[in-house]
């Protein structure tokens, strides 16, 4: 299990502080508590993933939900109000666009330094949708949709519940369809929320 999650250190700068940080990350990722957490994450995945015998209707519902959290859909949700709206909605759209951009960069940086393989490669359960890349941690879809939903939910409180529920369902769809572990989704959503809080605080 020691190679499930490991930092990518090839081709990194030779700066000693950088290597020291990588070494600390490596020790953390090899720790016993993280392996126990990984085992629980895998157990939850196996409990929630849709089996091969799922109905076409079930797969269709979760597939539609998962595409709502795709990067292009999230960009549209962020940019359309940015172009067409005025007032508070336009401000929220600008903040959502920044939150989406920053959180996406953070996710890509983490993905390429913590190389966690997709669950479909590890437990041999086929994913029900195409895999955007080979990196599982964290979930880009869950991050993208939550980054937009959170900013608008924080601005328009009457829409907070449906927006956050929708974002949560999109994240859950990534597990149901066999693309991500629950931990990938949770961390992606936390990145999105933290980024949204930071963008709103600095605006």
Residues 136-177: tens digit of each pLDDT = 999 999 999 999 999 999 999 999 999 999 999 999 999 999
Q: Regarding predicted confidence, which is higher, 16 or 41?
A: 41
The answer to whether residues 111 and 133 touch, using CB atoms and an 8 Å cutoff, is yes
Q: Regarding predicted confidence, which is higher, 131 or 74?
A: 131
Which DSSP string do the residues of 115-160 spell out, in sequence order? -PBPHHHHS----SS--SSSB-SS-HHHHHHHHHHHHHHHH-GGGH
Length of the chain, please?
Answer: 203
Q: What Cα–Cα distance (Å) separates residue 182 from each residue in 87, 160, 175?
A: 37, 23, 6
Residue 95 contacts by C-beta under 8 Å, 6 or more apart in sequence? 151, 155, 196, 199, 200, 203
At 48, the pLDDT band (50, 70, 90 cuts) reads very high
% the chain with pLDDT above 90 = 51
Residue 181 burial (CB < 10 Å; 0-12/13-18/19+)?
A: buried
* Two tokens, residue 198: 């930071």
The answer to whether residues 120 and 178 touch, using CB atoms and an 8 Å cutoff, is yes
Q: Left (φ > 0), alpha (ψ -120 to 50) or beta: where does 81 sit?
A: alpha
CA distance 142 to 69: 6
26-50 mean pLDDT: 80
Domain 16-202, CATH number (from 3.40.50.620, 1.10.20.10, 3.30.70.980, 1.10.606.20): 1.10.606.20
Q: Regarding predicted confidence, which is higher, 95 or 73?
A: 95
CA distance 19 to 9: 8
57-71 mean pLDDT: 88
- pTM of the predicted protein model: 0.80
């Amino acid at each position: 299990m020691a190679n499930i999650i490991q930092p990518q250190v090839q081709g990194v700068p030779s700066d000693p502080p950088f290597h020291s940080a990588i070494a600390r990350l490596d020790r953390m990722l090899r720790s016993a508590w993280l392996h126990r957490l990984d085992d629980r994450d895998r157990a939850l995945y196996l409990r929630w993933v849709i089996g091969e015998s799922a109905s076409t209707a079930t797969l269709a519902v979760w597939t539609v939900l998962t595409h709502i959290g795709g990067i292009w859909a999230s960009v549209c949700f962020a940019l359309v109000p940015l172009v067409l709206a005025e007032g508070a909605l336009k401000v929220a759209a600008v903040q959502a666009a920044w939150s989406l951009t920053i959180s996406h960069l953070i996710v890509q940086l983490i993905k390429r330094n913590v190389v966690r393989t997709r669950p479909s490669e590890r437990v041999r359960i086929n994913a029900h949708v195409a895999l955007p890349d080979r990196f599982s941690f964290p979930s880009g879809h869950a991050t993208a949709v939550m980054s937009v939903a959170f900013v608008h939910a924080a601005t328009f409180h009457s829409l907070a519940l449906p927006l956050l529920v929708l974002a949560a369902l999109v994240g859950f769809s990534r597990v149901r369809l066999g693309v991500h572990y629950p931990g990938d989704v949770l961390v992606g959503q936390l990145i999105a929320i933290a980024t949204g809080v930071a963008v709103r605080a600095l605006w």
